[in-house]
Amino acid sequence: MRAGSKSASWVLGLLLALSGCGFDDELPTPTRPPAPPVPPSQAAIALTLSSSPIEAAVAVDGSAPWRAEWTVSVRETAGIGGDIDFVRATLADSAGASIAETELDADQVSEQLGGTNHIRGGSNQEIPMSLNFDFPAEVFSADLRVTVQLNDDRDNTVSATADEVVQVCVPSLLTPEEGAVMDNGCASRLNGILWEFDWSDCAGAESYEIFVKQRNEQEPAIDRSDLTTSAFTTLENRIISEDTRRGWFWKVRAKVNGVWADFSPERNFDVEPLNTDCVTQ
């Protein structure tokens, strides 16, 4: 045999041996590293407002009865950044009718942020805002929509909105609960009625008014507008007759900076029968 033929036979044997070691098909292809992520093409922003709901207070400058103040937090979420073009706030009633609107342009935003309206990628900026307005009759809360427009560093225009509620401080009634049965007196007049009312505080309230009435009566049983605490107790040597012990209600309102807000929703109660808890001698 020639040397060349011997060499060819040796190579063929090596290949056959390798084929028995698990390489039945083609050799494995090396894994490629993952491609880097594609950077975002434009900025993205998220907004939050300072509270829920935003409480309206009386406008101290007299331009309108009510004033709302809040802080809008602007967060750039795509890591690009850009210049804030404007921040616009619109207040509308439940039917969508506009009550008031205010806007901060780029220069005013720059003043709020200490000399620049630019927001860096991934950063957060807080912008204080306020709005003076008149609530229409029978309206004590409204929807607030805040819009921020950003011209990003890649010359794209993006915007975001946040929604909240603005309301005057309407007290929440605590006790007695809806449908409660209140104290009655005694025919002997040895034991009168003891009624206790409690409601939530309103920040800055100068006084509260409580109104208590039997629905079929012409005049209220209680109408006090000089209360300086959010509770009222009445102890009277009187009785409630059988024909008027049902169908009572109470409500409360607050006065802030000389302006009365709306009354709370009415809460119903009844009175127990005469002589229910009289002391016997």
Residue 186 · residue 274 · CB < 8 Å: yes
Higher-confidence residue: 143 or 189?
143
Angle at 277 between CA 272 and CA 279, to 5 degrees: 150
Does residue 233 surpass a pLDDT of 70? yes
pLDDT at residue 31, rounded to an integer: 75
Euclidean distance between CA atoms 109 and 104, whole angstroms: 6
Superfamily of domain 173-271: Immunoglobulins (2.60.40.10)
Instruction: Decide whether 45-168 matches 173-271 in CATH topology.
Output: yes
Is the pTM value of this prediction over 0.85? Answer: no
Q: What is the pLDDT of residues 101-157, one digit of tens each?
A: 999 999 999 999 999 999 999 999 999 999 999 988 778 889 999 999 999 999 999
- Side-chain half-sphere exposure of 236, counting CA atoms within 13 A: 11
The single-letter code of the amino acid at 21 is: C
For the domain covering 45-168, report its CATH number. 2.60.40.10
Tell me the average pLDDT of the chain: 88
DSSP 3-state assignment of 244? helix
Encoded tokens for 72: 């809008």
Does residue 89 surpass a pLDDT of 80? yes
Does residue 1 surpass a pLDDT of 70? no
User: Can you tell me the mean pLDDT for 180-186?
Assistant: 96
User: Can you tell me the mean pLDDT for 72-97?
Assistant: 96
pLDDT at residue 137, rounded to an integer: 73
Q: Which letter, b or e, does each residue of 238-264 get, where b requires 16 or more Cβ atoms within 10 Å of its Cβ?
A: ebbeeeebeebbbbbbbbbeeebbbbb
Confidence of residue 7 (pLDDT cuts 50, 70, 90): low
pLDDT at residue 19, rounded to an integer: 53
Query: What are the domain boundaries of the chain?
Result: 45-168, 173-271
